[in-house]
Amino acid sequence: MVKLAKIRKTSLSKSSQAWVRRQLADPYVAKAQAAGYRARAAFKLLEIDERFHILRGRTLVADLGCAPGSWAQITAAKGMLTVGIDLLPCDPLAKVTFIQDDFTTAQGLQKVLHALGGQQPNLVMADMAANTVGHKETDGLRTQALTELAVDFALNHLAKGGHFTTKIFMNGYENTVKKQLTPHFARVQLFKPKASRSESRETFLVALGRR
């Protein structure tokens, strides 16, 4: 995690300076640094697990959009074998195979399946968001496309009895996805962790018990 206090504001744009100020004021950033997590996002998964026990009994994990690796830190610490993929590089972790590639391509998908060794993961997790272009509707559609791919991966590769969670933006599409997943899982629910910023439209869809 970047030591924000050491960043010289004079070298940053106004938008970047605003980001730094927000990070410095965010208690979850300080908590993540104190706990040794790579990002504040770790607390989102911990809250999801506290509410739904999504990590209990899991052994093989697919982590889609894994950088910088804070969710994989948690699964690895619990002894799970994890395969993560992201466009960005991740520093190595024991029990984790990091793949630097594009999950949205056939090549990236095949690398994930190969790393899983022909086995079906019993947990699929995706904390993905598209790179923003500054246009609200476009950014929403780009992230929605990633959610669709994560859902497709879970429906095609998640083991029976497995769990699935993915980031999703609240724009009406979340109800469509919930309806899509309901026949395939014992329980499907939307959940916004406290670690998700209140001004953000993000929430998480949690699907338990693949039928």
Q: Which of 167, 178, 192, 194 is catalytic?
A: 167
- Assigned token pair, 15: 């938008």
* Known catalytic residue at 167: yes
Residues 6+ apart with CB under 8 A from 154: 124, 164, 166, 207, 210
Q: Which amino acid is at 48?
A: I
Per-position b or e across 53-87, b if 16+ CB within 10 A of its CB? ebbeebebbbbbbbbbbbbbbbbbeeebbbbbbbe
- Strand pairing class (185-191; 202-210): antiparallel
Q: Are 171 and 184 in contact (CB under 8 A)?
A: no
CB 91 within 8 A of CB 28: no
Residue of 208, 211, 210, 192 whose CA lies nearest to 44: 192
Place of tokens 């962790």: 193
The alpha-carbon radius of gyration of the chain (Å, integer) is 17
The residues annotated with a catalytic role in the active site are 167
